[in-house]
Amino acid sequence: MKKIICLLLGLAGFAATLPAHAQSSTPQAVATTSGAVLQTNRRSTRRLGPLSYEDIIANLRGPISSMPSVRGIILDNENPAKFRIIASRSIEIDLTNLRERLNRPNANRSEELDKYIRVISLTVREYDPFKREALRVVIRTSAALNEFEQETAFGSDANILVRRPFIAGLEEVVVADSPTSIAFMPQSRLADLNLSADEAFVIGEANTAELARSARWFEENGLLVAELDGAYASSLLKVDGIWAGVSARLEAPVAIIIPNRERLVIGRANNADDIRKLGELATTETTGPHALTNKILVQNQGQWVEIP
């Protein structure tokens, strides 16, 4: 099952150390170094003075901060050689080897730092899930989304998500899907993809409709159950094209419950026994950290509404 990953990386526990190829790899450059330390030293004919970790970080901070998805840098108060980049994942940087290379006699400091920045940029892009083709939508509780935004704020930088109301207590939110995880999309990433919030929802719903082709449908205790990739069952409510077929299969208007994000259970809205079963399941299965709602939903003029 996929895990929701925090965009404030340290909280999510997905810290990723810069790979070993950072020592020599030279991917396409996206930023160059500048700063008084480098400019002064590389123009001097005398032996270069040693650079401290503070000097190195001062020259890295600007180029790193300008990379898409990077929200900031957190220094390690206990180890001056280390810092973390706050991006789509937490990227831990250890400057020990870089400092040793920079302080060698006749080192080309500008070239070494530019090379290092290029590798960091490649790593940031590699871990960035926010691409148009990866956008999806999910249904989550307003309380869970509020908590996520608060926990992933970075200083005064709020982490406001691309979200909108669905029904009472639930919201539709845009996410990015990867083979191992799902990431809530911050509004700050819309500009990187040249999208408005409405456009992100349109793309996310269209991609979710494609994903819905792989949904698993089966009968259980006289009801129809849908499961989709562990975390997307509730997203089927935003795929309008499937519900006419489901209603035809049941030969009745549909009533559904989404007690948690893993399962969507469907019965006949005009059948008292189905409504009873749905109500019992909603009561027993709306528990745990993935709980959504214990309400029974029906369609009214194309919109999902709660049964009073």
* pLDDT at site 87: 84
Which residue in the block uniquely carries the two structure tokens 């249904």? 139
- Asked whether the beta carbons of 9 and 15 are under 8 A apart, the reply is yes
Phi, psi of 144 (to 5 degrees): -65, -40
Report the alpha-carbon distance of residue 140 to residue 262 in Å, rounded.
12
Query: Taken in order 115, 120, 123, 129, is the CA torsion positive or negative?
Result: negative
* pLDDT at site 137: 98
Its pTM stands at 0.74
pLDDT along the chain (308 residues), means of 10: 39 38 38 38 51 95 90 92 89 96 93 95 91 96 94 83 95 91 92 96 97 95 94 94 93 95 95 96 90 94 88
Report the alpha-carbon distance of residue 6 to residue 275 in Å, rounded.
37
Region for residue 15 given its phi and psi (left: phi exceeds 0; alpha: psi -120 to 50; beta: otherwise): beta
Phi, psi of 38 (to 5 degrees): -70, -45
* pLDDT at site 48: 62
* pLDDT at site 71: 83
Distance from CA of residue 100 to its chain's centroid? 35
* 282: Cβ contacts below 8 Å, ≥ 6 apart: 257, 259, 293, 294, 295, 296
* pLDDT at site 34: 38
Name all contacts of 252-255 with Cβ < 8 Å and 24+ positions apart: 253/298, 253/299, 254/298, 254/299, 255/296, 255/297, 255/298, 255/307
Report the alpha-carbon distance of residue 47 to residue 41 in Å, rounded.
9
